[in-house]
Every structure is written in C-alpha cells, then in structure tokens.
Structure 1
C-alpha cells in the first residue's frame, strides 16, 4: 500500500511536466481543443492529492521519496501535511481550470503550444516546491518557478514592456532565490538536517542559535522577493504584461504565495521571536497599505487586481508573523479565500477584455445582460473579496479582526492598517465584480457577448466554491483549514469561525470596514484622481529605482571590465602567473610549511648528469634566442631531456606522453609563428626582462617547493592498493595506468581527447588562413612590422 502511494505521488508530481512535453505536439494537431486533453494531467494529480485528504485531516503526514546522493543526505522526497497538501490542491485544481481557460482565451494564437508548455512547466515546478521535503529539491523547484515565470511573463516577447517585465521578475525573484539558498545552507549547518519534515520538529533550538538572525534575514529575502513584499513588490503589477491566464494563475493563487508558504512552513522553527514578530508584521502592513492604495489609483482591471494581490500578500505576511492565537487560523482562511476569489476575478477580467476589447473600468458598464454567466461569477467573487456574507471572504475577515484586536498600541496600529486595507479591497471587489455589469451600456458593450465554455467555467466554479465552503464551514475547516493551521503551528488547532457572527469587536470592525468601503466606492472617481495627484507628486517609486539600479550595475560592470579586460594577452598571462606564484609561495611562507631540503643519498650517474646538462643547455638556448621561432625550437630540447629523465626513473608511459606533447607543441607553435611572420629579432627592454624573469623564477620555485612538500608527506597507499586490487578484477587489465585512463577515468580521458581535437581544429583553421596581400607599393616588411605592433 505504501509503495503504491509513493508511486502514484511521484506520478502526480511529474504529470504536469509530461504535459509540458506533450503540449506543443497536441496543440499543433488539435489546436485549442488540446486544452481538454492537457487539463486531464493536472486533473489526475488533483484527484490523487484529494484522495489523501482523509489521512492528512486525521493528523498524519504522507512522506516518501528516493535517495539521490546518500553520502550528503540529499534525496528527492516529499512531505504532505495540511499545509503542503492544501497548496498542492490549489496548484493542481486551479491549474486544471486555468488550462481550460487558456485554451479558450488564446484560441487561434500561433504560440498556443509554446504557451501551454510554459504554463504546465510552471505548474510542475510550483507543485514540486510546495511538496518538497529536501532543502535541495525545494531550492531547485523554487528557481524553476522563477524561470518558468520569466518565460510566461515574456511570452509576447516582441513587445518591449513584456521583455522588461519578465527581466524584472527574474532579477528580483532570482536574487531572492540566491538569498534563500544561503539561508537553507545556514539552516542545514545550524540543525544538521536537510529535510523540512525533520527541521520543523526540531523545537526552539534554531531560535537560540548564534546564526539565527543571518539565517532569518536570508530566508526573509527569498520569501519577500517571491511574495512581492515592499519594496520588492514592483515586479508583480508589471507582470500583468503576460496573457491573462498567466495573471490568473501565477500571480494570484500560486507563485506569489510561494514566499508565504515558506514563511508558514518555517514558522515552527523561526517564528515566535521578537525579530520575527517585528519584521513580518511591519513589512506586511506596509505592503498591505501600499498595494491597496495603488490599486484604488488604477483604472485597468488587471492592474487593480494585481495591486490588491500585493495588498493581500502583505496581509498574509502580517498575520503569519503577528503571533496571536488566531493569527495563523486567520492567515489560513484568508489564503484559501484569496486564491478562490482572485483567480476567479482575474479570469473574469480576461473574459471582459476578450468580449469588449478593453480593460478600462471607466469605459465599461452595462455588461450584465450580454454576459450573464460571467456576471454571476464576477458578483460572487467580488462579494467574497469585499468580505460580505455568506462568502468565505467574510469568514476570513472575521478571523483577521479576531486575531488583531487587543488592548495594546501594537494591536491597535495593525488593526487600523487591516481596516483601511480591507475597505480598499472592498472598493476594488465592487469595482471589478459589479461595476462593469450595471448601468447604461457603453459603446464597448454593444458587441459584447458571453464567452465560450472554457472562459466562464473556471471563474464560476471558483466563485461557487467560495460560497459553498462558507455555507459548509465546519466541514470545510475540518478537512482544510484546521489541518493547515496545525501544520503551521506544529500543534493541533481547531478553526471554528462560521457564518453566524459573534457579537463583539470583530463584528463591529467588519461593519466599519463595509461602511468605509462603500463610501470610498461611491467616491471612487474622486478617490482615483486624488491618489493620482498625491502619488504622482511623490516622484519616482521603486519601479524606476529598479531601472536606475540596473543602469548603475551595467555602468559599473563596464568600468570594471575596462580595467580587468584591457585586450592584451601578455598582461593576462602576466597577472595569471603572478597569482599562481602568490598562491604557491604565500601559504607556504605564512603558515611555515616550507619543505625540508632534500638529502641526496647518492651522486648523479654520468648519463643522468648528461641529460640534466642538456636540459640546462636547452634553457640557455631559449634565453639567448634572437627570435621566437628559435626559442620555440630550443624549448623542445629541454622538454625532450625531461622526457628521457622520466624514462630513466621508471615512468615510460609518462615519458612517451611528454615526448608527444613536446613534439606537437613545437610543431604547432612553429607553424603558428611562421604564419605570424615573426622572423626578425624580438628583444624586450631590461625592465620587462627582469619582471618576466622574476615571475618565471617565482613560479618555478613555488612549484618546486610544493612538489617537495607533497613528496615529504606520509604516503597514503589506499588508492594504490585499490587500483592494484581491482584493475585486473574489474577492468581485466594488467597495466594499471592504462586501466585508470581508459576505465576508471574514461569520461575524463574522453574530455581530454575532445579538448585536444578542438584545439587541433582551431590550429588547422588558423594555419589555413591566407595572409592578406600587401598593398601596392608597400613592402612586405612594413606589413610585418605593422602586424607585430
């Protein structure tokens, strides 16, 4: 049974990736109808995760996986509890509806297959992220969501705005991903575990660790950039350059909540500290206000929804770090409610744009008769976003005020922030969900009509789910909300908020929020104009700051490149050899690791001394050569002498290799030099000679001392014994050196051969280049001198 669950879970995780591979071929053959086939894959994944609900609701966790690199405790593993299972259901359930919606929305688009592939790739990445147990797999999927998001946002790559938005999202979220990687490494070293399932049960040991604050800042960097917290929020509204199915999926229900998921997952080990309860509520509260105010300033449906998504993410972060008894249940209920109504409203916005050709709220009214099903879905979702009963958004708002109310100044401040933010979100909920459908029809509404099945099915189902889940609140909480909150707090929690309000401060705050929201909605045009003047007078914001930062980075990189890459090979070689000499000599000197002077047990034999003298003579010939061609030929003398020395000391294979290398080096370099026509003398000034000579002596001395130090260390015979034992047994070869090269290091040898082959081809191409003819009346010697210059 366990093996079957593990296999089906693995299959469910890979079905979206299989759909990404299949999508281009299916769409090419079936056009937009391929959406029905492709939607089956995430649909099957959704059914599998749905089958695990009883087990997880009972308090159990579903784990499994496979060892990847056992020596480093790295595995491909998953961990499904109330938190990760709820996210998995959101990713696959909403994803199935989005695939159907995308097929209808992009009907006839030439790039439909490519778009579906990107969409399913992202779905698989997000699904892997929320169920990953291994730190490494979490990071890999985290970065894969950034890459897939880049492809989706920049799908319409012919438009400059789409390219900029995609780049901005990739830079911000990718940079945060690097911070997350560093944070995970900190957590690994602090806890000694590489699985989230083990980490979240490690108690309060991490909070007391000396590296707690660095780890917290790095994790928050990854979470805040992914979940668009101020001042990193700018990428999310700009990501609306993507097609509407992308906005409805990535930037409302899935990717933008990855950072919130991470904070909720790590709450048991990083939460509860003063730093946690200061940073998260502060940045979350600022993001809530900034997002809500910016949303009221907009007139584009998608931009209004995008900024309220920023506000909602801020509210979730604020609740996750607030620290009261009802804060986590409030965050859980609002996360579910937001996923349902925001996904529906984004799809409604796309349907309106598809039917009327505009998303400008000032040009839309009277669509109710022409689009009755879309109107129904929009009204249900908009009322849930406004926090009105009998919708799940109302339950979430009641729980939010229950969590925030208190008798201290901190509670009062964040309660006020929540009231203002929720009132503005009521304004946007009414503006998007109700305003376009009432009133006198505008010219844009004259030709409007209800979209196809795929355009209204998704928003209608999500909106109805928000209604039914509130009507069946006790049963819904038992299966979803309570297990999710229990996983975040790491102890059993019962979420009890229902449609029947309890008389008290939370209900009074809800009524005040509704009253304030209705007044602001009544004066929406004036509010928008006033915010436009106010925000416009503040000057450039973080979005412009991103451009300034990138421009400064490019200028800095250009100046650094001009310094370190001056275009002269001799300078590069000189710097490289200086660094080599320093790397060899400085550690040996500073740490007093100089080797003992070797003791010669016997004098040199006559033939050994002869070849040593030949090597010295070859060196002298190199130094005295009056042109480079002669120096290259003389260098071969020294190399051949060393080859003979290798032969005399019992290394015939090394000697043969050295002979081949010296021969090829001399021939190739000589051919190249003849093509460059460097026959005249090549004398350098004495300062250059002294510098080059000093560097050469330092490198030679460093290599000699390092070799002596290595040979004077105790010899470890384990590797020798291994090859001696297994060369004949495994590779059936008596020559140990050959077996090592061909069998044990076969891939390495193949790489070396490939490098030599590529070098040979490059040299051949260089030799075959014909020298340009000298201009008429100009002697060839002048051309040679010019070439040397």
Structure 2
C-alpha cells in the first residue's frame, strides 16, 4: 500500500519535471495510471468478500506511536474506487479540455498529487498520517483551484478555500492530539475499543468541537459553505473531481470513520442532524435561483453534502445505508453534470442558463447523458438516485422522534434539488438554439465519453442495484456501523408512503423547473440579507483583521531597531519584574557573599570606564572597541570563577562580534550625534529599569539554593551517552544540539541579510 502512494507522488513529480517536452495529446496517456490504480483496488475488493478489512503496518516513528498504518475496508474501498475511477475519467477529459492551457505539466502534477493525498487520507489508519494527507489535500487543491492564476477570481477563490480548510486542519489536529493523549494511541483501529474512555472524559465535548470544525470546513457545511461556490473559478475538470467525489467528501469520510468511535447517540448525532439539515436546505434553496451552471451545481453539492451529514446524524441502519449509497449516487450524477457544464462552456463560451437552449440537436449524446444525470438527481425510477432517495425517506420516516418533521425537511430539499438538476441537465438542451450551428464547437470523444460512462453507471446501478450493493456498499455500511445488516438495495419497494413521497418530489421538482423564471424574483429579497451572510461576515472580519495588522505593523514594526529593542526590553522588564515582585520574597543582603579581590575590583572598574566611553564617544570605532573591552573583562571574570572553557567560548564570540561590527559599520554613513534630551532621558530610565531587574535576579539567584540535578545529570552522562569529556561542549553539541543548530541557522540568515543589504547598496552606488 505504501508503495502505491510513493509511486503516485513520484509520478506526479516526474510529470512536473517533464516541462513542455510532451505534446498536449500525449497527456491522454496519463489516464492509464489512475486506471491501473482503479483495477488494483478492484482486485482487493474481491478479497472483502472473505475478510472485513486488510490492515498493513509500517514503522515510522514508533517511539511516538506514529506509524504508516493503512487499512483497506469497505469505507476506504468505496472512496478509493471513487478517487481512482472518476480520476481516470477526469484525466481523460482534461487532456482535451485543457489542451491549449499553459503549464499543462503543472496541472497534471497537481492533479496527481491531489489524487495521492486523497488516497493516503482514506487509507491511513494512524491519526497523524490522516492529518498529514488531510493537509496535503488542502495544499494541492489550492494549486488546482488557483490554476488560472492570472485571473483575480481564481486567486481569491484559492486563498478563500485554503484559509477555510486550513483553519479546519488546525482544529482537526487539535482533536487528534486530544484523542491520542486520552487513549495513548494514534491507531484508529485501536481507538475502536476506546469509545467509552473518550465519551466519559471531561474533554469529550472539546474533542467533538475540534473534529466537527475540521470536517465541516472541508465538506462545506453551513456556515463554512461559501468557499465551495467560490471555488467554481477553477477549471471544470477540477470542479468535477474535487467537488463531486473527492475533496468535499474528505470531511464526510472523517465523520463516517469516527462515528463508531465518537457517536454518543445524543451530542454527536444531534449536532450532525442540525448542521446537516440547515446546510441541505440552505444549499438546495440557493441552487434553484442561480443562473450560472457551475453555481447551480456548486450549491446543489453543498446541499448534497448536508444530506450525507444529516443521515450520519440520524445514525440508524437505514440512514447509514442511505448515506453510503448517496455518496456513490451523488458522485456519479454530479460529476456527469459538472463535465457537461464544461462541455457546454467549451462549445458556446457561456454557462448562463437563460441564454442556453437547443444544444441537444448538436450534441445529442451529451444531452442524453445529462438527462440521465438530471433524472438521477431527481430520483426518477430506474436511476440510481431513485433507490438512494427511497432510502433517505425510509430513514426519516422510521426515525423514532420527529420523523414527520425530518421527512418534511428531506422532501423539501429533494424537491429543490430535483428542480436544480433539471435546470443544469435538461434546460440547456431543450428548445431552439440561440446561436448558429457554425459557432458551436462540438465536443470530441475525449469530452463526451467520460460523461457517457458515468451516466451509464447511473442507469446500470439503478436497474441492477445489487452490483453496487454486494460489491461495495454493504461493506462500507459495515465499516461505519461496525455490525452486519439485513438491508439491501432493491429496485421496487412496493406501493407505500415512500413511493408517494418520491412521486411528489418528482412532480414538484418539474414544477420548479417549468416555472423557474417566475420564481427568481424572490431571490432579490434574499439578496438583501447578503450583508449578514456567512461569506460577508467572514470577509468583513478579514478586512478588519487586515486593517488591524496594518496599524499594528506601522506602530510596532516601523523599521527602527531602537524601537524594537525598547518594546522587547519593556515587555521583559514588565512581565518578569511583576512576577518577581509579586511572588518572590526579595532578599538583598546575605552573609554568603564573598568580598572583592583586588583584580576583580580592577576589572570591574575597567568595565565601568568602558561603558562610560561607549555612551559618550562620538566615534563608532571607539564604541566598538569599548564594547570589546567589556566582553573581554567578562571573559576574565569567568576565568576567576572557575569556568575557563566558557571564557574561551565567550572570548571567541566577542572577537568575532567585534570584527563583524567593524566590517558592517565601516559601510555606514558618518556618525551623527544625538542630543534630544527627552529621548536620552527615556532611554536612561529604560536602561536603569532593566539593569535593576537583572541585578535583583542575580542577587536572588545567589541567595536561594541552586538545584544541581540537571548539572549532575550532564556531568554523569556526558561521557557515557555522548563520549565527550568536555561537559560544556557535549551540552552544546549533543544534549542541546538542536538549539545550537538553530542558533547557527539564525546567525547565518542574519549574515546573509547583512550581505544582501551591503551588496544592494553597492549596486546602487555603481549605478549612480
């Protein structure tokens, strides 16, 4: 399994480094790669008939419990087949749709990286690897959504999607860390037996908040939904892939995977029902009033994701079976409609449904495929959507509490989705064409074949539902419910309430479709609420934060080093001084202090004289020399108190510092004496305050007994663990090697910065 993921990422970077060495038509061959992966997972699907799951374990960081564990069960198999199967069609479709695009190698690299990230996410059985691949999906989707980076709308959409999903990733990580801290394990397989431990813990509610935050942002649940319609600025193949079968269902996958672990039958379930219910109504309502094909599909996708979350919240056998079925149903018909929208846009260069009619005469194959997808969206018999819709109604009707109200919500949502499905899949192909046939670009086989395949699967699974049921959906249900079920998909449920509701849904969906142009007027009233919509509120907060950041930066980061030092010193003085005065009983006199020796007093006087010269001199070189004298005197004081190795280290540092100061200051303009008495007084007060604080800390360190545990540890283990006899060197290089490394990196970066400034100045002087 890990070999498959490594191969995907290697192929992605090989595509990137290929540059423009391939002609656009050769990129069609790349569809073979996801097809091979699809067949690979299809082979393992046959093994699920004998075993419930396949678990693979690879050690990574075993000391922390972080390993590359992968689990292939019904749920991960369902998503893996969607990712690779629809991915194959997207590769095939994009090879013609984007044949004139620049940087086609980058696009396919991003697409392949995204596919590998999604596979890693759904296959991982370790919390940290799940998070790692989760973040990779956010990063790669950012590049895909913003692929047309010359357009401002694409850049803005990519940034919005990345910001929202990035926030969710942070919350998800916090939830995972809390779970691991409570259970002592990062393994999802082991967490299955820790359900009671988590639910009885005082941090359970906080865990739910974090997990919900991650899942809801990724799967565009209200109020985080607005990034998904905005992401329609992406190329159509990206929209079809990310927003029908993969990225937006990553959050759904997390909720489904953790349902058997975190579901308590009350907080978990009710939250999912409420959020999912609001999202599905909100998205469906907006989808019926939009006129852009991709906007219609985007809002209907938001609604569909809400339906799945709603069903996971209900949590009964019918609901969970309906959820896994609808995941597949939605992926098939929504990918078909997205690809159809791309074909239409490619042919007539518009997606406005008020301007699209009569295209069925010129692309009948695409029209038939779109009709089938629209019928599946409405739940018409003999389509896969009909079976899924029946399961949804069975779930709500059989719910022990509020069954009637939940059914009303479900029916209302499906009526609206049926109407929007007809608008997207039927409206553009009926009537007389507005444009002349000569202006139409008929789709090639690379564009219409993926649409036909997806629509045929919608029909095949609708007429023969056992093909999807026995092969994968039953196992996906078992993975979520952790129990077997006697439920199965069937074409005919008899004459019952569910059938009546289905007929009602289709009829009123057709009504919304036929009279849609008369119903758009209410949208104008809805648009009045735009200032208080989640998107507007989020953007307003973003603008406020930008203004705050600008003002803060102008105040605190104004480019003057002296101001930075003042802020740092004042903060340390205030914080440490307050803590020292309020919590430490100050003791300034002690009998343990030894008296001054003559040489100590001599060097102390030299330090005072050097400080005086540093402050009063008008020469930079004199100031640097005085500072060097202070440093060397401190080195000698270290020698007096028995630390010659530390003195030698300090001596080398002081020497290097003096040399660097001389080299840098030599390039600066002439010295300007500063005579502002107010600023001099301010600096004197700050200096005295900070010096007094250091004096008090030093005196208290001499008064209070020192703990020798750390010193003894280093002394006892320096040679045993690090094979070094010089304890100080061992501490710097081994025990605290990362500190030393980071300090070296900081110094190197600072040196490069100084060199760059000097070099830039030199270039300007030569230009002058």
Give the structure-1-normalised TM-score.
0.88
| Alpha-carbon distance in 1 for matches of 2:468, 2:705 | 69
Q: Is the 8 A contact 1:640 1:659 kept in 2?
A: yes
Match of 2:616 in 1: 626
3-state DSSP of counterpart to 2:392: helix
Whether the 8 Å CA contact 1:13–1:45 is kept in 2: the answer is no
1:783 corresponds in structure 2 to none
CA contact (8 A) 1:295 1:305 kept: yes
Displacement of 1:369 after TM fit?
A: 3.7
- Does the CA contact (< 8 Å) of 2:418 and 2:509 recur in 1? yes
Deviations 1:34-73 (A, max 9, x none): 3333222222222222222133344522222323222221
Q: Write the deviation string for residues 728-755 of structure 1: whole angstroms up to 9, x where unpaired.
A: 5xxxx77666677678877766665565
* Partner secondary structure for residue 422 of structure 1: helix
- Aligned pair 1:515/2:507, yes or no? yes
C-alpha distance 288-764 of structure 1, shift in aligned 2 (>3 A): closer
Is 1:532 the equivalent of 2:519? no
| Paired residues of 2:588 and 2:700 also in contact (CA < 8 A) | no
Contact kept, 8 Å, 2:52 with 2:475, in 1: the verdict is no
Using a 3 Å threshold, how does the CA distance of structure 1 residues 213 and 712 change in structure 2: closer, same or farther? closer
Look up the SS of the partner of 2:493 in the other structure.
coil
- Out of 656, 662, 682, the residue aligned to residue 648 of structure 2 is 656
Superposed CA offset, 1:456-489 (max 9, x none)? 2222112212222233323421221111111111
Residue 405 (structure 2) aligns with = 413
1:335 to 302, 320, 327: 327
Deviation at 1:293, TM superposition (A): 1.6
1:182 aligns with 2:174: yes
- Structure 1 position 379, deviation (Å): 2.3
The aligned residue for residue 131 of structure 1 is: 123
Say if 1:372 and 1:450, in contact at 8 Å, map to a contact too.
Answer: no
Residue 419 of structure 1: how far off its partner (Å): 0.8
Change (3 A) 1:290 1:643: same
Q: More displaced, 480-489 or 365-374?
A: 365-374
Per the alignment, residue 628 of structure 2 pairs with 636
In 2: Cα distance, 1:50 partner to 1:711 partner: 67
Q: In 2, are the aligned partners of 1:190 and 1:206 still within 8 Å (CA)? A: yes
Shift of 1:309: 0.6
User: Structure 2 vs 1, CA of residues 162 and 753 (structure 1 numbering), >3 Å: closer, same or farther?
Assistant: closer
The separation in 2 between residues aligned to 1:103 and 1:483, in whole angstroms, is 34
SS at match of 2:60: strand
Deviates more, 1:270-279 or 1:296-305: 270-279
- Contact 1:332–1:481 at 8 Å: present in 2 too? yes
- The match for 2:294 among 288, 302, 313 is 302
Bigger mean CA offset, 710-719 vs 126-135: 710-719
Q: Are 1:691 and 2:686 an aligned pair?
A: yes
Could you say if the C-alpha distance between residues 379 and 765 of structure 1 is closer, same or farther in structure 2, counting changes exceeding 3 Å? closer
- Counterpart for residue 787 of structure 1: none
The Cα RMSD (Å) is 3.2
The CA distance in 2 between the partners of 1:217 and 1:251, in whole Å, is 24
Match of 2:366 in 1: 374
Deviations 1:704-739 (A, max 9, x none): 6458868443355444343313555xxxx7766667
1:38-49 equivalences in 2 (<5 Å): 38-49=30-41
Q: Is the 8 A contact 2:12 2:108 kept in 1?
A: yes
Query: Residues 14, 709 of structure 1: CA spacing in aligned structure 2 closer, same or farther, 3 A cutoff?
Result: farther
Verify the 8 A CA contact 1:595 1:712 in the aligned structure 2. Answer: no
Aligned partners of 2:544 and 2:674: how far apart in 1? 47
Q: Say if 1:598 and 1:13 are closer, same or farther in 2 by CA, change over 3 A.
A: farther
Between the aligned partners of 1:330 and 1:233, the Cα distance in structure 2 is 23
- Does the CA-based 8 Å contact 1:367-1:445 persist in structure 2? no
SS at match of 1:368: helix
SS of equivalent residue, structure 1 residue 358? coil
- 1:405-457 Cα offsets, whole Å, 9 max, x none, are 14877222221111111112222222332333333233255544642222122
- Unpaired runs of at least 5, structure 1: 1-8, 774-789
Is residue 29 of structure 2 the alignment partner of residue 37 of structure 1? yes
Cα gap change, 1:545/1:766 in structure 2, threshold over 3 Å: closer, same or farther?
closer
Distance 2:757 2:440 in 1: 67
Corresponding position of 1:118: 110
Go from structure 1 to structure 2 and tell me whether the alpha carbon gap of 1:168 and 1:726 turns closer, same or farther (over 3 Å shift).
closer
Tell me if the contact between 1:348 and 1:459 (Cα under 8 Å) persists in the aligned partners. Answer: yes
The SS at the match of 1:29 is coil
Corresponding pairs, count: 757
Q: Which moved more, 1:87-96 or 1:34-43?
A: 34-43
Question: Is the 2:611–2:630 contact (alpha carbons within 8 Å) kept by the matching residues of 1?
Answer: no
Q: Distance in 1 between matches of 2:368 and 2:712?
A: 79
Query: 1: CA distance between counterparts of 2:758 and 2:99?
Result: 56
SS in 1 for 2:71: strand
CA positional deviation for 1:18: 2.5
Please identify, of 640-649 and 105-114, the stretch whose mean Cα deviation from structure 2 is larger.
Answer: 640-649
Point out the more displaced range, 84-93 or 631-640: 631-640
Contact 2:28 2:92 (8 Å CA) reproduced: yes
Q: How far did 1:367 drift?
A: 2.7
Structure 2 contact 610–630 (Cα < 8 Å) conserved: no
Task: Give 3-state SS (helix, strand or coil) of 1:80's partner.
Answer: strand
In structure 2, the residue matched to 1:51 is 43
TM-aligned CA deviation for residue 264 of structure 1:
1.0
2:233 to 241, 247, 267: 241
- Check if 1:474 corresponds to 2:463: no
Q: How does 1:748-787 map to 2 (within 5 A)?
A: 756=747, 759=750
Question: Cα distance 1:756–1:182, how it changes in 2: closer, same or farther (>3 A)?
Answer: closer
The aligned runs of 1:124-523 (5 Å cut-off) are 124-406=116-398, 410-443=402-435, 445=437, 447-448=439-440, 450-523=442-515
Q: Secondary structure at the match of 1:136?
A: helix
Deviations 1:625-681, CA, capped at 9 Å, x for gaps: 522645543333332222223345554443222223223334444566674544758
Displacement after TM superposition at 1:591 (Å): 5.5
TM-score (norm 2): 0.90
Which residue pairs with 1:610 in the alignment? 599
Aligned-partner Cα distance in 2 for 1:686–1:286: 63
Q: Please state how far the C-alpha of 1:357 moved relative to its aligned partner.
A: 2.3
Q: Secondary structure at the match of 2:197?
A: coil
* Of 91-100 and 185-194, the range deviating more from structure 2: 185-194
Change (3 A) 1:695 1:22: same
Closer, same or farther: CA 186–356 of 1 in aligned 2, 3 Å: same
Do 2:715 and 2:727's aligned partners in 1 also have CA atoms closer than 8 Å?
no
Deviation at 1:25, TM superposition (A): 4.7
User: Cα distance, 1:522 vs. partner?
Assistant: 2.1
Q: Judging changes above 3 Å, is the alpha-carbon distance between structure 1 residues 680 and 19 closer, same or farther for their aligned structure 2 residues?
A: closer
- The CA distance in 1 between the partners of 2:676 and 2:304, in whole Å, is 73
Structure-2 separation of matches of 1:93 and 1:192 = 37
